[in-house]
Structure 1
Amino acid sequence: MNAPRLTYSVPGVNVRHDGLHDIRRSLPEETPVALVFDGTTAAVMMASPDNIQDFAMGFALTEGFISGLADVTDFEIVAHELGIEARFWLASEQAEAVRRRRRSMLGPVGCGLCGIDSLEQAIRPLPVLPAGGTRLCQAAIAGASEALRAHQPLHDQTRAVHAAGFVGPEGDIVLMREDVGRHNALDKLIGALSRGGIDPASGAIVLTSRVSVEMVQKTVIAGCPVLIAVSAPTAHALRLAEGAGLTLVAFARGGSFDIYAHPERIQTGACHAA
């Protein structure tokens, strides 16, 4: 598969108080990505056409099509004129499980739950994250959004995409993925963590978006105990985070942040090296 084109330069007219000005802007591309399991399409999502294997693996993990990479016996990406297919072949036991719970959905970029066929699927039971584990310093949390902002080349070009990053204990950005869809960016990150053998429990996930239900669901299913966002959580997302043992941080910008659930994983005040 050739390297995808991620942006298009287009002409426009900028209207200002001093008149009209010809401009050119870079716009982000999006394309349909079909997630195909053993020859049957289970989902079609609109996504930025890069890091497709990360996206496919992360989506398959967080949506329950696989429980780990060992469930996948083969994988390929096939580009078509109208979009991209991410094709999975599954181990027999997992293939049967997918056949039993197959669903179809078409998801626009703003919605991670479009197309599900029952209320039970929308608010699925979540595992409870183990208590304890990695604690993050206040400074690492406070600087996470700014650290992520320094790793967003597609956003720098277009001002129109979201990012999800994985923050190490010292506040460094270990991995980052971008996409036109906020939930797609998170799936790409989770897929990249899995493929890279990085334990999500060893750090935190930071988002450039608000925290809605599906963002909490995907983070918990991935096994990451801390979620940081630059914007607000919904009330339902907060209730899910509380019940699942997820530390939820919001409005993390300008050096400050709010803690809404399970603050015990964050060391406030001065942090000292062991």
Structure 2
Amino acid sequence: MAEQSANQQIQALRLGPKGQQDIDWCAPTEVPIGMVYNQTPHAVMMATPEDLHDFALGFALSEGVINHASELENVTIHPLKGGIELHMCIPDKRAERLKLHGQHRAHFGRAGCGLCGMDRLEDAIRPLPQLPDTDLRLPYALAGKAASTLAEAQPLRRANKSVHGAAWVDGGGQIMMVREDIGRHNALDKMIGASAKQGMDFGNGFALLSSRCTFELAQKCALAGIHALLTLSAPSASAIDTAKRANLALASWDRRTGSLVVFSGDVWTT
């Protein structure tokens, strides 16, 4: 099935020093995407309808639905009136774990929020894996290199000036994978899924997000086995605490001063 367009052309009015002007504007598409495991609905996320197979795998990995990419089978896209459902097969033991852990969502999550729809507060703060210590060391200049080239690697953002980007950057500072979405959590999920399918080593490099970092983004990275996370806006206090507890190296690139602010981990060096 051909995926829906990620952008829509709309009419707008520009006001400025030269007066007013009718213009064409490119706006990102946002539709409900339902996650269905073994015929059981689990969550609905508002997302950009692009790279949906990557979204399916990345969401399952970063939400702890599965432990390994090989456990997700037969992803099929079902267009419905008013939205899309992603139907997936997972091992019975994983489906049972969803029920036992009470992770069934109340059917809706907005694009800007990765927690909407959780039945209980304790489901939001899930047990975190302790990432193993790593010998990975990254000169801080690599952070600036990747941060400065992310926008060039975001074709949707160039068109609509709206969407978030998530990238996987290798140990040499080269952007290897980028995914975009109206929701920052969705962009991260898509990047994780696409990178996992390519067999990229999450222990040798770092994730780069165009957004701020809140605790659930740090949580997703830890659950996916990512050792280092760099964001272009500063993290929240809870994100820093989550990163420290998970042994996740968390840093933010300060574009104003051209410097790296490290909040946890010893991966980054001078």
Q: Secondary structure at the match of 1:106?
A: coil
Q: Which residue of 2 aligns with 1:88?
A: 88
Q: CA-to-partner distance for each residue in 1:176-224, whole Å, 9 max, x for gaps?
A: 1000000000000111111111121111000000000111000111111
**Gap regions ≥5 residues in structure 2:** none
Q: 2: CA distance between counterparts of 1:2 and 1:265?
A: 41
In the alignment, structure 1 segments of 5+ residues that lack a partner are 269-274
Aligned residues: 267
Q: TM-score when scaled to structure 1?
A: 0.93
For 1:133 and 1:193, locate their aligned partners in 2 and report how far apart those are by CA, in whole Å. Answer: 21
In structure 2, C-alpha distance between the alignment counterparts of 1:181 and 1:17, rounded to whole Å: 33
SS at match of 2:85: strand
Q: Is the 8 A contact 1:71 1:91 kept in 2?
A: yes
- Match runs of 1:1-274 below 5 Å: 1-100=1-100, 101-104=102-105, 105-253=107-255, 255-262=258-265, 264-268=266-270
CA offset digits 1:147-185 (Å, max 9, x no partner)? 211100000000000000011111100101000000000
**C-alpha contact (below 8 Å) 1:229/1:252 kept by paired residues:** no
Residue type of the alignment partner of 1:159: K
Deviations 1:64-116 (A, max 9, x none): 21111232342211222321111111222223223333512311111001111
SS in 2 for 1:112: coil
- The CA RMSD measured in Å over matched residues stands at 1.4
Distance 1:95 1:149, change over 3 A: same
Verify the 8 A CA contact 1:133 1:201 in the aligned structure 2: no
Residue identity opposite 1:103 in structure 2: H
Provide closer, same or farther for how the CA distance between residues 265 and 171 of structure 1 changes in structure 2, counting only shifts above 3 A.
same
Q: Tell me the amino acid that sits aligned with residue 199 of structure 1.
A: D
Cα distance in 2, alignment partners of residues 147 and 207 from structure 1? 12
- Which secondary structure state, in structure 2, belongs to the residue aligned with residue 204 of structure 1? strand
Q: Is contact 1:145–1:252 with CA below 8 Å preserved after alignment?
A: no
CA distance in 2, matches of 1:229, 1:47: 20
Q: Secondary structure at the match of 2:189?
A: helix
Amino acid in structure 2 at the alignment position of 1:59: F
Paired amino acid for 1:186: L
Q: Which amino acid aligns with 2:62?
A: T
Letter in 1 for 2:97: A
Q: What is the distance in 1 between the residues matched to 2:7 and 2:163?
A: 11
Q: Where does structure 1 differ by over 4 angstroms across 4 or more consecutive aligned residues? A: none
Who is 1:271 aligned against?
none
